[in-house]
Chain A
Amino acid sequence: MTSLMGGVLQLQGLRRAYGPVVALDDLTFDVPSGQVVGFLGPNGAGKTTTMRAVFGLTDLDAGTVLWNGAPVRQAERRRFGYMPEERGLYPGMLVGEQIEYVGRLHGLSVSQAAQATTTWLERLEIADRRRSKVETLSHGNQQRVQLAAALLHDPELLVLDEPLSGLDPTGIDAIGQVLVDQARSGCCVLFSSHQLDLVEDLCDRVTIIDHGRLVASDTVDALATSGPRRLVVRIEGDRTADWARPLAGVTVSEVVGGAVRLVLDPSIDSDEVLRAAMAAGRLTEFTFARRRLSEVFREALA
């Protein structure tokens, strides 16, 4: 069902301005095959504009979108799958027919489209709604329909704008697993989200943009292990971390449930922190930690 053909999406020097507002400013990054890439950025960073540019839905002032080294044209886009942020569905059309219709536009025959529709509706657990009108479905089920339409033709590249927003945990698990499976079978998956914990769990790679510019792009592991060291310190009865604040080169990142998360400058010796912690009370935890994606995100935008 899924394609094993790999491909690389390359965005090179994308620039787009709406009057005085610069949406994309020399944006360059790649989406390699077989990976789930999280596309992050604050509201108005240019994520949606970037995704629309891949499908020719916005005119670029400069830059190119390449697929396997060649400019993306209509023929390539037929092999891509797209799910816009606001659900792109005909409200009054039947679920099955709507998905089949999109599949036909992507080049499937009538029987292929029907068969693939059956497969995906079952996989996404909405097969019983095949003959329902889209407008009668819940928000979550409409998202599943939209995802099925994007996946029907076994795309080589899947671009999803906020596919997890508004979903319950079950829906997030189901759709998240589909994205991972697609990537493991060779598909490029690029999706945007503001749910950073989910992105950290699902993605192999993360790209962060702000004001249309790239601010970070690497694997989740590389980003988590890069940057200043982090310590998680827990002292019995301590809820304020006042003991750590006077330490030079040490920043209190957060205090949650008695666990103090500290960011250390490169010059700081962790033994100094250990001594200060032991002096403050009974030490129950002293662990080096990876950077969370939320920290990566905040620090990248700082």
Chain B
Amino acid sequence: MKVLYVALAAVALVTVRVALFRARRRRRATPPLDEPSEPSGPSQRSGLAPVFGALEHSLGDVGLVAGREIRERVRGRIFRVGTIIMLGGVAAAVVIPTLHKSSGPSIQTVGVVGGLASDTHQIVLIAGEANQDSVKFVTEDSVATAKADLRSDKVDMSVVDSSELLLEQPATASNSPADPGMVTDLAEYLGVLQAYRQAGLTAAQVKLVSGAKPVAIHVLVPNSKEATKAISIIGLVLLFFMLTQYCTWILIGVMQEKSSRVVEVLLAVVRPLQLLGGKVLGIGAVALGQATLIVGFALVLGASVGSDLLKGTAPLALLSELLWLVLGYAFYCWVYAAAGSTAERQDQVQTLALPLSLPMLFGYIYSVTVASTGHTSAFFKVLAYLPPTAPFCMSVLVGLSQVTWWEFVASVLITIVSTGGVALFAARIYRRAVLRTGGRVRLAELIGRPAR
């Protein structure tokens, strides 16, 4: 069944890829000359026309700029291939672990040589139940018959005189029909039963001892800890990858508009904040759409295959990471936009990108470490309240259930307020720097009197 799910996921991915490939070929095959009588604006050509129309109608110039960003980004090969790769990675992370799990109840046919006492019969059933196996008994006339039935796969294992187990080959062998878990348990139980008898226990005493119930077990961390840890790390990787990608888009996009002088044509019509706001909004919408698609895909696929990865607090951690993707993007995009407005060339962008990514990189690496070990520290908790590292650290704390709702809300509020301040500062830098040409603009030159 799980193989079927994997196959279906693979088919879905391939189908999406083929559809995209065909769509691109169709576009290329379209005659170059458009029909003049037919309105052919980008909003009308796109299947997302109502969305773009609403966006542009409600937000005016900001909506127009955002609409252009969305169209250009979604059309880009990097976005489409990246989305498919991420969906494939998520599918693999969700499905593959389930392939190694027991695949549910099975029937174990047990040959019996020399009959079974009632307590022994009961023990065989318990061993089967413990391993999700239902047991079917077959009476064997002799050991030779039992061996013959084992070889012909009529039985999976045989119990000889209630004191010995007989298998065709080791239970752990890949083609052994015997459930290795049941074989191990049954061997242990029969050994204990023999010990009871050798100790001289009466049947009633044996029954009492055999029926002993285990004491209660209390755990400090829910039993899905491993699953939550895994999903938390997967989420962190995606969060880091996506934040880096979208912020780099902003950085390069602003630089390219400046270097190609498109910004002059645009700012002759719209205000700098409208242009910047539209760009941030457009790329942010693409980011949110892609992340929602991936999280939704993970949740649906996980539920379909019964993945442990999405049990316990894992879905909460995923949703938290989705929220922190939005908040992290909102915080960082302004910083990257301001930085991009000071550069004119690709090499200048590369020089800027490294220092800008350091806080993100630090938060990411530290968070992955903590998510792996489960050991937090006071310093880590402080980082969960600082906007540059909160997207990573707070997500981990949620996954580990080490944060209360009000602490989470406090961190969100701090990030939102900080984002407002950063946006105002970045918009000021952007306005002053984006029209200045002739080399990279230093931050010190942008603080003070207007200089464009």
B268's partner among A55, A59, A111, A113 (CB-CB below 8 A) is: A55
Task: Output the nearest chain A residue to B266 by Cβ-Cβ distance.
Answer: A105
* Segment of A77-85, A183-191, A221-229, A283-291 engaged in the interface with chain B: A77-85
Residues of B within 8 A of A87 (CB): 260-261
Stretch with Cβ within 8 A of A (4 or more), from B32-40, B216-224, B335-343, B408-416: B32-40
State in angstroms the CA–CA spacing of A82 and B270 once bound together: 13
Closest to A97 in B: B42
**A91 located at the interface, meaning its Cβ lies under 8 Å from any Cβ of chain B in the complex:** yes
Closest to A107 in B: B269
- Chain A residues with CB under 8 Å of B267's CB are 55-57
B72 contacts the other chain (CB 8 A): yes
Also in contact, A102 and B64, with CB within 8 A (given A111-B39, A128-B33, A132-B32): no
* Contact pick for B260, options A56, A90, A130, CB 8 Å: A90
Contact B260 A114, beta carbon cutoff 8 Å:
no
Alpha-carbon gap, A56 to B264, bound state (A): 10
Q: Is A154 an interface residue (CB 8 A)?
A: no
State in angstroms the CA–CA spacing of A100 and B260 once bound together: 18
Which residues does chain A contribute within 8 Å of B268, judged by CB atoms?
A: 55-57, 77, 80, 82
Return the chain B residue nearest A106 by Cβ.
B269
A84 touches B68 (CB 8 A): no
Interface contact A113-B260, CB-CB below 8 Å: no
Decide yes or no whether A195 CB sits under 8 A from chain B.
no
* Known pairs A78-B269, A131-B30; A84 contacts B36 (CB<8 A): no
Near A by CB (< 8 A), chain B positions 412-452 give 435, 450-452
Q: Do the beta carbons of A57 and B435 come within 8 Å of each other?
A: yes
Q: B41 to A131, Cβ gap below 8 A?
A: no
In contact, A114 and B39 (Cβ under 8 angstroms): yes
| B269 neighbours in A (Cβ, 8 Å) | 74, 77-78, 102, 105-106
* Residues of B52-90 contacting chain A, CB below 8 A: 56, 61, 64-65, 68, 72
Q: In the complex, which of the residues B33, B256, B257, B265 contacts A84, with contact meaning CB atoms closer than 8 Å? A: B265
Contact among A88, A111, A114 with B265 in the assembled complex (CB-CB below 8 Å) = A88
Name the CB-closest residue of B to A150.
Answer: B265
**B3 → A minimal CB distance (Å):** 42
Q: Mark A139-166, 1 if CB is under 8 A from B, else 0.
A: 0000000000100000000000000000
List of A residues within 8 angstroms of B33 by Cβ: 127-128, 130
**Cβ contacts A88-128/B at 8 Å (1 or 0 each):** 11111100110011101110001101110011001000011
Q: In whole Å, how far is B269's beta carbon from the nearest beta carbon of chain A?
A: 5
Residue among B33, B269, B450 having the largest count of chain A Cβ atoms under 10 Å = B269
Q: A96-B34, A128-B33 are in contact. Are A91 and B41 (CB under 8 A)?
A: no
A211 vs B64: C-alpha distance when bound (angstroms): 39
Chain B residues whose CB sits within 8 angstroms of the CB of A83 once the complex forms: 265
A299 at the interface (CB under 8 A from B): no
In the complex, the answer to whether A57 meets B39 with C-beta atoms within 8 Å is no
CA distance A129 to B261 in the complex (A): 22
A85, A87, A88, A100: residue with the most chain B Cβ atoms closer than 10 Å: A88
From A58, A93, A110, name the one whose CB has the most chain B CB atoms within 10 angstroms.
A110
Closest to A78 in B: B269
Residue B72 contacts which of A56, A93, A131 (CB distance < 8 angstroms)?
A93
Interface pair B42/A88, CB less than 8 Å apart = no
Question: Bound complex: CA of A100 vs CA of B52, how far in Å?
Answer: 15
Complex CA–CA separation, A89 to B451 (angstroms):
24
A52 contacts the other chain (Cβ, under 8 Å)? yes
Asked if A168 CB lies within 8 Å of chain B CBs, one says no
Q: Say yes or no: A130 contacts B32, CB within 8 Å.
A: yes
- Residue A86 lies at the interface, judged by CB distance under 8 Å to chain B: yes
Residues of B within 8 Å of A88, CB to CB, are: 260-266
Contact yes or no, B435 A131, CB < 8 A: no
Closest-by-CB residue of A relative to B34 is: A130
Bound CA span A122–B257, Å: 27
Cβ–Cβ contact A105 & B64, under 8 A: yes
Q: What are 7 A-B pairs at a CB distance below 8 A?
A: A93-B72, A104-B64, A105-B270, A106-B269, A111-B39, A111-B41, A131-B34
Please give 14 more A-B residue pairs, beta carbons under 8 A apart, in addition to A91-B260, A106-B269. A55-B264, A82-B264, A87-B260, A87-B261, A88-B260, A89-B260, A90-B257, A93-B72, A96-B34, A101-B68, A105-B64, A111-B39, A114-B40, A127-B33
